[in-house]
Structure 1
Amino acid sequence: MRVFCGIDWASDHHDVALIDGDGKLLARARIADDAAGLQQLLDLLAEYGDSPGERIPVAIETSRGLLVACLRATGRPVYAVNPMAAARYRERHTVVRKKSDHLDAMVLANILRTDADAHRQLPADSELAQAVAVLARAQQDAVWDRTQAGNKLRSHLREYFPGYLAAVQSTTGGINAPLARTLLAAAPTPAQASRLTRTQLRAVLKRAGRQRGIDAEVERLHAALRVPQMRQLPLVEKAMGRQALALLGKFEAACTAADELAEAAVELFERHPDAAIITSFPGLGALTGARVLAEIGDDRSRFTDATSLKAYAGSAPVTRASGKSHAVMARRVKNQRLAAVGYVWAFASLNASPGARAHYDRRRTVGDRHTSAQRNLYNRLLGCLHHCLTNHTPYSESTAFPAPPKLALAIAA
C-alpha cells in the first residue's frame, strides 16, 4: 500500500496527515517542534510501513528548518511545495474557501499522491555543499545589508556633510573604503573635519591601513575638508554627527560580517570536489563560485538536463501562447540568488573570455539591450557548466565558443 505524508508547518507545532493511494485518511496528528515531536512523527510513519528500504515521501511548505533537515537525514523523499501552489490545490477540495491546518496537511499529502512528478524533490546534496550554501547565502545577505546601510549613511551625510562625500568620492570603494569609514569616525561633522591637522590625517590614513602615497593623500584631504560648504545650525550639526556615528556602526558591522563570511565561504568551497571545475569558468572566482554551488548543489540528478537548470536560474525565456497570441518574455519566477550571481558572472566573463565577449557583442548587434544580452550569455554559460559538471571536465574556451567555420579555415590557412 502506497502511503503519502503531508505536513502543515508552523513555528511551534506541525499538523501531520497520512493518506493511502486512494486518498483515504489513514492517520492524523499534531506534533511539537522539538525532538519529542520528531520521534512521534517517525513512530507514526513506521506504523504505516515506513522502513529503510521504502521511505514514505513527505510534502511540506518549506525547505528550511530543523524538521526538514532531520527528515532529509533519514534519506526519505521530501518535497518543498510552494505555498501558492498548495493554495491552488486547496480549491480542489473545498469551494467555500475554508481553511484549517489539518486540511492543509491533507492537501499536501494529496499533491504527492496525484502530482508528485510535477514537483521538485529536495536534492540529496552532500553535507559540505549544504554548509557552503549556508555561508554563501549568509554572505550574500550581508552584502545586501551592507549596501542598504551604506545607502542610508550616504543619504544622511548628504543632508549635513556633503564635503565629506566629495572628499572620499575619488577613493577606491568610495564610502565603503576603510579610509572613508575611519575618517568619518574621527570627524563626523564639518566643524571637526575642518580642524583636522596634517598629523591627525596621517594617523587616520595609517589606521585605515594606507602604506603608500600618504603625504599626497594627506594634502588632498586637508584641502578637501576645508572647502566652504553649506552648514546646518551648530547644535543640529552636532546631533546629526551623532546620528552618523550610529549609522556608521551598523555599516561597519555589515562590512565586517560580509568580509568574514566571504572568507569562511571560500575556505569551505575550495574543499569541494566541484570547486576546480566551477572556477575554471571565466568570470567565476572562489566567492561567486561558492554562490553558484550553493544554489545548484552537488546532486547531479537534480537537473536532468541543462534546460531545467536554465529555467531554475531564470536565464531561459518563458513562452506564453494562446490562440494567435504568442509572446516570449523574461522569466520572473526563478531562484533570485542564482540570477543575481549570474549577472555578475556574465559581466565579469566579458573581459576574461574572448568567446563570451564576441557572443555578447553579437547579441547587442541584433538588437538586444545590455540586460538581455547578459542574460543570453549567462544562459549559454549555464549550459556549459551543466555539461562540465555532468562529465567532470573543466571549462574549455574552444568548446564553449567554437570559432565560426570561415574564421576557423582562415586560422588554419
Structure 2
Amino acid sequence: MDVTCGIDWAEDHHDVAVVDSDGRLLGKLRISDDAAGFQDLLRLLAEYGDNPQDPIPIAIETSRGLLVACLRATGRRVYAINPMAVARYRDRHVVSRKKSDHQDALVLANILRTDAEQHRPLPDDSDLARAIAVLARAQQDAVWDRTRAHNRLRSHLREYYPAILEAFADKRERLLAREARTVLAIAPTPAAAARLTHNRLKSAITRAGRQRRIEAEASRLLDVFHQAQLHQPPLVEQAMGRQTLALLAQLDAACRACDDLARDTEELFLQHPDAEIITSFPGLAVLTGARMLAEIGDDRTRFETGRDLKAYAGSAPVTRESGKSRRVSHRRIKNSRLAATGRHWAFSALTASPGAHAHYNRRRDIGDRYHAALRRLFNRMLGQLHHCLATRQRFDETIAFAAPVLPPLTTAA
C-alpha cells in the first residue's frame, strides 16, 4: 500500500495520521465527531491521492459508529483492528511505553503499511444483512437481559415467598410464564396470596391466556398458597412485596422487548435471499437462522473456505505446539454470539436430523463429552452451511450425512 491512514477513535474527537510506504508521516489531524469533521478527514485524504477509483485504506479500533458507517459508504476498505493488537504494535515503535492519541493513530496507519495481509477489512455485507444483524443482536441481548431479570426475581422470592416458586416449578418457563407473572402481580406477598379467591385466580389465569383446565389450575394454586409456610415479619414482607413488583416490572419489560424484537427480526430475515437456504437446515428456525446470518453476513468473499468460518465460530480446534509439546483444544477466542447460536442449533438438530443424531452418538462413543460432541456436530454442519450458501443449494440429509464408503472386501488366496 502506497499510502495508509490510521484513526484513533474517541467519543467526541478522532486523531488521524497518514503515512507513506516508507513509514514517513505525511499528515496528521484531529477531527470532530460530526459531519464537519468527516469532511475535514476527506479533504486530508484527498491531499495525498485519495480518489473514488483508488481510495486510501483506513485502520480504526472499532467496527461500529457513524464514522465507520460513513467511511464504508465511500467504498473504501476499513480495517477494524483489535485494541489488544494495537497495544502490541505500539511496543514495536516506542520502548518507553508512552502513549498518546496521535501516536496510536500513527501505529494504526503503520499496521496497514506493514501487515495489511494479516488483517481483514470489514465485510461488504448488504444493508439488509446489516439491518438483520442489528435486530438479531438486540433480540439476543434482550434474551440475556430477561434471563438476568428472571434470576434476580427468583433469588428475591426465595427470601420470603417460596410458595410462588413451588406453584410454578413444573412449568417449563417457570416465572417467565405469563400465568406466573399475572398471579405474582396480584399477589406479591404470601399474605396477599392467601387472601386470593377462586374466582379471582380464575380471572387472572384466563387473562394470562390459559384456555384449558382453568378450574383445576385455580384450585391447585389455592392449595399451594394455603399451605403452612414460614413468614417474614409483616412490615418486612410488605416491603419485599413492593420490591417484587419493581423487579416484576423489569421482567415484564424484558419479555415484551424479546417478543417485539423477535417478531421484527423474523419479518426482516424472511426477506433475505439466504433465508430459504439457512432455514432448510435441521434445527435452524427463523430466529436462530437470523442470528446465524447476523454473524456470518452475506459477503461470500469474507470466508473463502469452510475452515475459516469454523475458526471464526470457535467450533474448529486449535493446536498449540512448542518443541516436543503438542496440545489440541477448543478455541476460546471466537465470535461468542455465533458460538452460542451454534450450541442451540446442534442441540435442536439432534431431534430434527437422524444423520446429526448418529454423528453425535459416534462422537460420544469415541469418548467425547456432551459439549465436545455438540461442538463437533456444529463444526460439521457449519461447514455444510458454508458450502450450501456458496453453491446456492438447500440442505439435503442424504448428502450431508451419507454413509461412509467402506473398502471392498478381499478374499484370501
Whether TM exceeds 0.5 here: the answer is yes
Match of residue 38 from structure 2: 38
Match of residue 274 from structure 1: 274
Match of residue 199 from structure 2: 199
Structure 1 residue 404 displacement after superposition: 3.1
Matches for 1:137-156 after TM superposition, within 5 Å: 137-156=137-156
Q: Tell me how far apart the structure 1 counterparts of residues 229 and 361 of structure 2 sit (CA, whole Å).
A: 45
Identity of aligned residues (%): 65
For residue 93 of structure 2, give the secondary structure of its aligned residue in structure 1: coil
For residue 160 of structure 1, give the secondary structure of its aligned residue in structure 2: coil
Structure 1 residue 107 displacement after superposition: 0.4
Match of residue 106 from structure 1: 106
More displaced 10-residue stretch of structure 1: 94-103 or 165-174: 165-174
Q: Gaps (5+ residues) in structure 2? A: none
Q: Tell me how far apart the structure 1 counterparts of residues 261 and 405 of structure 2 sit (CA, whole Å).
A: 46
Q: Tell me how far apart the structure 2 counterparts of residues 397 and 229 of structure 1 sit (CA, whole Å).
A: 55
Structure 1 residue 405 displacement after superposition: 3.6
For residue 159 of structure 2, give the secondary structure of its aligned residue in structure 1: helix
The letter of the residue matching 1:173 is E
CA-to-aligned-CA distance 1:10-50 (integer Å, 9 cap, x gap)? 00000000000111100000000011111111111112111
Q: Which runs of 4+ in 1 moved over 4 A?
A: none
Q: Tell me how far apart the structure 2 counterparts of residues 170 and 321 of structure 1 sit (CA, whole Å).
A: 49
Structure 1 residue 313 displacement after superposition: 0.3
The letter of the residue matching 1:135 is L
Structure 1 residue 406 displacement after superposition: 6.1
Match of residue 393 from structure 1: 393
1:328 maps onto 2:328 in alignment: yes
Match of residue 16 from structure 1: 16
The letter of the residue matching 1:168 is F
CA-to-aligned-CA distance 1:252-275 (integer Å, 9 cap, x gap)? 111110110000000000000000
CA-to-aligned-CA distance 1:156-187 (integer Å, 9 cap, x gap)? 00000000100011223111000000110010
1:87 maps onto 2:68 in alignment: no
Match of residue 210 from structure 1: 210
1:312 maps onto 2:312 in alignment: yes
Matches for 1:282-361 after TM superposition, within 5 Å: 282-361=282-361
Q: Tell me how far apart the structure 2 counterparts of residues 224 and 172 of structure 1 sit (CA, whole Å).
A: 18
Q: Tell me how far apart the structure 2 counterparts of residues 97 and 405 of structure 1 sit (CA, whole Å).
A: 59
Match of residue 258 from structure 2: 258
For residue 22 of structure 1, give the secondary structure of its aligned residue in structure 2: coil
More displaced 10-residue stretch of structure 1: 122-131 or 226-235: 226-235
Matches for 1:55-74 after TM superposition, within 5 Å: 55-74=55-74
Q: Tell me how far apart the structure 2 counterparts of residues 171 and 346 of structure 1 sit (CA, whole Å).
A: 24
Q: Tell me how far apart the structure 2 counterparts of residues 139 and 33 of structure 1 sit (CA, whole Å).
A: 29
CA-to-aligned-CA distance 1:285-309 (integer Å, 9 cap, x gap)? 0000000000000000000100100
Q: State the TM-score, normalized to the length of structure 1.
A: 0.98
CA-to-aligned-CA distance 1:220-277 (integer Å, 9 cap, x gap)? 1111111111110100001000000000111111111011000000000000000000
Match of residue 167 from structure 2: 167
Match of residue 27 from structure 2: 27
The letter of the residue matching 1:323 is G
For residue 71 of structure 1, give the secondary structure of its aligned residue in structure 2: helix
Match of residue 52 from structure 1: 52
Q: Tell me how far apart the structure 1 counterparts of residues 229 and 404 of structure 2 sit (CA, whole Å).
A: 59
CA-to-aligned-CA distance 1:187-230 (integer Å, 9 cap, x gap)? 00000001100100011011111111111111111111111111
Q: Tell me how far apart the structure 2 counterparts of residues 96 and 329 of structure 1 sit (CA, whole Å).
A: 37
Match of residue 158 from structure 1: 158
User: How many aligned residue pairs are there?
Assistant: 408
Q: Tell me how far apart the structure 2 counterparts of residues 17 and 329 of structure 1 sit (CA, whole Å).
A: 40
Q: State the TM-score, normalized to the length of structure 2.
A: 0.98
For residue 55 of structure 2, give the secondary structure of its aligned residue in structure 1: coil
Q: Gaps (5+ residues) in structure 1? A: none
For residue 403 of structure 2, give the secondary structure of its aligned residue in structure 1: coil
For residue 92 of structure 1, give the secondary structure of its aligned residue in structure 2: helix
Q: Tell me how far apart the structure 1 counterparts of residues 230 and 136 of structure 2 sit (CA, whole Å).
A: 43
Q: Tell me how far apart the structure 2 counterparts of residues 26 and 405 of structure 1 sit (CA, whole Å).
A: 62
Q: Tell me how far apart the structure 1 counterparts of residues 405 and 110 of structure 2 sit (CA, whole Å).
A: 54
